[in-house]
Each structure stands twice: as structure tokens, then as C-alpha cells.
Structure 1
Amino acid sequence: MSANSKLGEQLISLNRCEFTGILTIRSQDEKQWEMFFYRGKYLWTEGGSHVNRSLQRNLTYYCPEVNTSLLVLRHQSEIRSLNYYLITVLLQRRVIKREKLKALMETICQEIFFDLLQKEYHNSLEYNIQNTSAHYLLKVGFSLSLDFINLEQMLFQAQTNWSAWGSKGLASCSPHHAPLLKQYLELKQQVPDIIFTNMSRLLNGKRTLRDLAIKMDKNVLDLTCGLIPYFFKGYLRLLEISDLPELYRTGKVER
């Protein structure tokens, strides 16, 4: 995907004109993303595919000290993104450090930009720009002092990742797909026992390619390229799976 994509043009334009508000993006398969900006600074994106799954795997990877089973958030109906609210509360409570939060947010940002570039490759995206005030962004739960995302840098990295993905013939393969092993007996005869054992344990149709990559500490492109030959030989299926539940419970616990 080239740097002059419509998505890239939209984001860089909003960044450079110091836009404050919400960019809503819709794809032809009825997915929706809401991107929040303050004076051109990218704050967060709400929506898309596997929102909770993305947060959970990245929180587990970057902040393994966080016990997600104990997370309780005070219910606030005006919050536009409970996932964003969660990570900023964890920062305020000093449960996670700023550098880890920065890495987590950058990874999630790159995943979202990659997904949008892939959507744009197959069909055009619809854009809607809504100006808001800084007061509104604060009211709906955004921290205007968090300035972690270098938008142009993140967009460039996502475009680089997407170009590499497409160059390997993977344009129709989503990182959200979950590999499921099949034809066990035939495959067992083709690979060493230890490889077969690991494949049968991990490739159970419950983890996406992104989930597997972060679990195995591998680049998702390298992992996928290693698995694709098994797919073409009929040993694997790539499934669409649902998102995970939210990581937290809501209640009356104070921030």
C-alpha cells in the first residue's frame, strides 16, 4: 500500500491542520472506527475488529503484572471508550508505567492502521469528520496530556507492514484469522513429533494469527508465512472467530 492512500491523506491532513474532533471511518462490510484527535494529536481509536482481544493480548504482553481478573471500573455512561479509560486509570493508579503504556498504545495503533489499509485495498472507505471541543473530549474520558502517538511515524510503519504482507501474497488473509489444524494423522507423518505436538497445541482455532505471534514472540508476518504452506496443503483452516469479552467489570469503585 502506497503512502498516498486515501487513509494516509486523511490522517496526515487532520494531523497537520491541528484538528480537534472525531474521524469516523466505515468499511463496506459495515465495520466502523472512531478516531479521536486533539489539536492534530491522535488520541485513540474505538471500534473495528477484535477490540477486546487486541487490548487483552497487548496488555498481557506489555504489562504482565496487571491481574485482569480483578479489574473493576466505576460506571460512567458518558465514556466513549471504556478500553481507553481502563488503561488511563491503570496509569493514574501507577499500576503500569508510562513507557509500557506507550508501547501498548503504539502497537494497538499500528494494528488498527494495518486493518484499515487492508480494508482500503479491497474496497473504498467512507469518512466523516466531526469537529468537537477539547471540553467534550475531556468529558467523554480522554486525557489530553497523553501524547504518545507520532501519527506519521505510526502510519508509515503500518504502511510498511501492509506492503510486506501484500508482497507475500497475503492480501486476502487477515491477521484476525485463527488457524485450526486438521488432518492430524497425515500431518503427523510429515513433521517431527515435537513440531506436531506444538502445532496441535497452539493451532486450535481459538487464537488469531496476531494472538499466536505475540504469544510466541514472533513477527506476525513471519509466523503467517511459516503457516501458509500447511494451509495450501490442506492441513490448516483459517477461521473467523469472535472477539473476547471485556476485560473488566463495571461497578461503583472509585478511580
Structure 2
Amino acid sequence: MTSASIGYANAARTLASLTQQRATGELTFSSRDLQWKLYFFHGRLVYGTGSLHRVRRWYRTVRQVYPNLKVSCVPQEEPWEYHLLSYQVTQSHLSVSQAQTIIKASLQEVLFSLVSNPVLTSDWYSMQRFALKDNAALSLLLSSSQVEEVLEQSQTLWKQWKALELDALSPYRSPILKQSFLDNQPDGVPLPDKLNPFLTGQHTLWDIASHAQRPITAVTRFILPWVQQGAIALEEVPDLPPLAGPTQCPTTAVGRRKRPVIACIDDSPTVGQVLATILEPAGYRVVNIQDPLSGIATLVKHKPDLIFLDLVMPDTSGYNLCSFLRKTPAFQNTPIIILTSQDGLIDRTRARLAGASDFLTKPPEPQNMISLVQSYLGTVMPVSRL
């Protein structure tokens, strides 16, 4: 864990650095009694949350994309919003693009709130076992360019907010029509009738902006004259109650299928651990074999659906072992992917002649490896879990 007092510019650099490092864990920003959490998986953003009106924000962002979405279960894991979106995607209630739209809309509001605080304290918690357990969840991760785009939008929105001299107001407050105004309405611009339903203390400025499908700056600027006139008060309101439903979303029929087995034949235990870290969260089971000669019995026992094979090993070469496996009936049709740092044309050609299905260089990029495995084994979607 690291902790430091930083400004917004450094916060942006922190996000970029975590992406470059392919970091996995939780980044927390704090300012007085407020807190924001950003979750990362191999440098890609999982989700962003803020301590203010978390449930309200969920309903707002979902309503913009899918007004009729019904929540039949609530995950226990954090961030629950992301797991719920992942579950809805596996159930075909949401598309990947719809879920990402919701994630980005929520993130923009969280970052808008974050950038409005000039001094922030950051804490990073590295979680090596922090893993996503289904490919639907992996497909929702935001790339560095997507995060940068949302960050720029939030910063632009905040600059507009300040330019309109609204920085003394909080969009998390709720406009309420004062009784004194109703009893003795002064001369001035009358309140539009369409605004009255939102002046009951049940809707925040964010809520009204979402309903009107207008920027928060435009909605606040529209209401401001009546606030200054004393007709409307902006008051704090609590968050909505937590989502109700079963404590854990049920496993889908696809999720109950047996996990595909992937064997990693490499004399280095580190390589096997890296592959397990990448592939097991994606729904596959990894069997590590460090001694290729005595490991044949392990291969026969587990009958892997795919094999990763190192080229350079102490007692034999990957080429010889690949040729041997291709002559063995049990593995004649098993995808064999050569995994090595030797990425030359001669190496690729020799690997093909030995019967290799594909070639992947070390160190493997997580998303490339997952995509390559999926091209041979298809997509598996067990229950998502962080």
C-alpha cells in the first residue's frame, strides 16, 4: 500500500502509470470524508465507485441505457455493480456495448466528483489474487484510451461547472420548493409546471439531469435563478436503500459446465504461475508440468483441452516433445501452442513442422493470450467473482 497527497494532475498520471504497469488491485482516493475507488485488472479499469449516492448512481446510469432492466439478484462481491452488469450480460439481458456504456457513464460522474476536490490522498492496494472469473466480465474492462476519454470528459464538465460559477453547489443535493414561496409567490419568472414533480426532495440534480437527458451544467444553470430568488432550496438527501434480492446471483447453465483444462509444460515454475494468473480468472483450469518427460503421465491423466509448450528445456526440446505428442493418439488433435522468447521466422517454421498449432512469445500479454485460447476453445462463462 502506498499513500500520498496529490492533486488532480498527478491523479491522472497515476491512472496512466497503473495501466502501463498492468497493475491489478484497488486505487482509493480520499478527500476529507469522501472516498472514490477505482478497481484495476492487468492495467484495465474494472469499475469506479464513489461514496456519495452509490445506489442512486447505479439506477441513474442503468436507466439511461436500459430503463426496464430488472435486478433479480445482488452479488456479494465488490464492486457489486460490475458483477451485476457481468451477470446481466451472461443472461443476454444486456449487450457488452450497453454494459460498457453504463460503466463509462458511472465513471464520468465519479471522476467529476473526484476532480472537484483539489487535494486528494491516494492509497494503492495490490491484489495478486484479484481476479475476474468469467469472460463476460473480462470483455467489459475499459482500456486506457477509454479511461482517458472519460477522464477528459469529466475534466471538461468540471471546467464548465466552474466557468458558470456553480462550484459552490453540489449536484448531489436535492432541489426543494420552499413553502414560503408557495404561500406568497413573489414577482418574477414563474416555475415551469414540468419542474414541480422534481422539487419534492426525492431527486438530486444528477437525477434530474439524467431524467431530462441534459448535462448537469445545463440543468443546474436552469434551476439556479429560483435558487437565488429563494424559491428553491438545495438540501442534502440520503442515498437510496441497497438493492434487494438474493445475496448471490445464481450460476448460469454455461457456468456449470466443466472448465476446460490447459496444460503448461515449462521447466520454470514462474511461467506456470503467470499462465495460471491469466487463464484461471478467465474460466480455465491450468495444470503445470515442469518435467516434460515424467509429465506425460500427467497429460494422459488430465487430458488437457490445450497445451502450452516451452521450446527450451533441460532434458528435451519443445520441438521433439511436440512431435512426440502429435504421434500419440490422445493428443493428435489437441491444440499445442509454443510458448517461448525465440520469436524468429525459423523458430515459427520449425514449430509448425513439428505440429504446433500456434506460437506465442514470452512474456505473454494477458488479453492476447486469452483471445488466442478462446479462438481454440471458445468462451467459457462461470460465475464472476473478484
Partner residue of 1:168?
A: 164
Unaligned runs of 5+ in 2: 1-6, 252-386
TM-score, structure 1 normalization: 0.85
What is the RMSD computed on CA atoms of the aligned residues? 2.4
Residue pair 1:187, 1:196 contacting (<8 A) in 2 also: no
Partner residue of 2:198?
A: 202
Counterpart Cα distance in 2 of 1:81 and 1:215: 25
Partner residue of 2:132?
A: 138
Partner residue of 2:261?
A: none
Task: Deviation per CA, 1:177-233: give whole Å up to 9, x if none.
Answer: 1111111244486445xx542232221111011100111121111010011111111
Greater relative contact order structure (CA < 8 Å, 6+ sep):
1
Match among 42, 47, 65 for residue 45 of structure 2: 42
Partner residue of 2:12?
A: 8
Residue pair 1:24, 1:35 contacting (<8 A) in 2 also: yes
Task: Deviation per CA, 1:35-76: give whole Å up to 9, x if none.
Answer: 1112221111234211110001221221123124xx224x64
> Aligned with 2:250: secondary structure?
coil
Residue pair 1:48, 1:112 contacting (<8 A) in 2 also: no
Partner residue of 1:26?
A: 30
The answer on 1:64 being equivalent to 2:70 is no
Letter in 2 for 1:143: A
How many residues are treated as equivalent by the alignment? 241
TM-score, structure 2 normalization: 0.58
Counterpart Cα distance in 2 of 1:106 and 1:251: 26
Match among 71, 80, 83 for residue 81 of structure 2: 83
Residue pair 1:180, 1:236 contacting (<8 A) in 2 also: yes
Q: Residues 6 and 253 of structure 1: is their aligned pair in 2 closer, same or farther, counting only changes over 3 Å? A: closer
Pairing of 1:86-165 with structure 2 (within 5 A): 86-118=84-116, 120-121=117-118, 124-133=119-128, 135-138=129-132, 143-148=137-142, 150-165=146-161
What's the CA shift for 1:23?
0.7
Residue pair 1:23, 1:130 contacting (<8 A) in 2 also: yes
Counterpart Cα distance in 2 of 1:244 and 1:108: 16
Name whichever of 153-162 and 197-206 sits farther off: 197-206
Counterpart Cα distance in 2 of 1:105 and 1:252: 21
Letter in 2 for 1:7: A
Counterpart Cα distance in 1 of 2:189 and 2:13: 47
The answer on 1:217 being equivalent to 2:221 is no
Match among 233, 240, 244 for residue 244 of structure 1: 240
Higher helix proportion (structure 1 or 2): 1
Q: Which has the larger radius of gyration?
A: 2
Pairing of 1:220-231 with structure 2 (within 5 A): 220-231=216-227
Unaligned runs of 5+ in 1: none
Letter in 1 for 2:78: R
Partner residue of 2:173?
A: 177
Letter in 2 for 1:172: A
